[in-house]
Structure 1
Amino acid sequence: MSAVEQHHQKLQHFFKTEIVKASQAGDFSPCNGCNAKPTLTDLATIPQFNMPTSTIPLAIWSLALLFLISFGLAIITKRRVTQIGLADAQQVVV
């Protein structure tokens, strides 16, 4: 979330400065029908969002933990099923 907030601040700063530049050059007048038209070169200068790569190891550790929990539950289940099978196989003498 901090990366998203930083990118949002960069975008706000970028657009504020670009609007001021365009207004000072007479290229931007929103009160007269908003005749500002961005070009491809203008769009290429917009700050791009880059996702931090630190979330990938976190995902790997989460998956490893999920696998270990699943493996543990499978072992417990196998033991319980084996115990039930052994109990059914025993003869009860009355």
Structure 2
Amino acid sequence: MSRICELTGKGRQVGHNVSHANNKTKRVFLPNLQNVTLMSEKLERSFKFRVSTHGLRSVEHNGGLDNWLLKTSDDKLSTAAQKVKRELVKAQAAA
């Protein structure tokens, strides 16, 4: 399973460990991913996602999962999140 946030697209970053003698060795910075269950108010269902803690705060700040998915472009979302977004758009059009 890749270390990428399903809602924000945030992934690993590459950098250096720098010693006191200024020697540089490669290292990887991984996002803090958590398995969470988020509730969709319009669909009245819950969905499981692997989300970074930064992304989780962003979703809560924007008014929940529904608003976040409708505002975010598809290229940042995972395939599971894109499916949920399509369901939301369908439900919004029917209402």
| TM-score, with length taken from structure 1 | 0.28
Select the structure that is richer in helix. Answer: 1
Instruction: Output the TM-score relative to the length of structure 2.
Output: 0.28
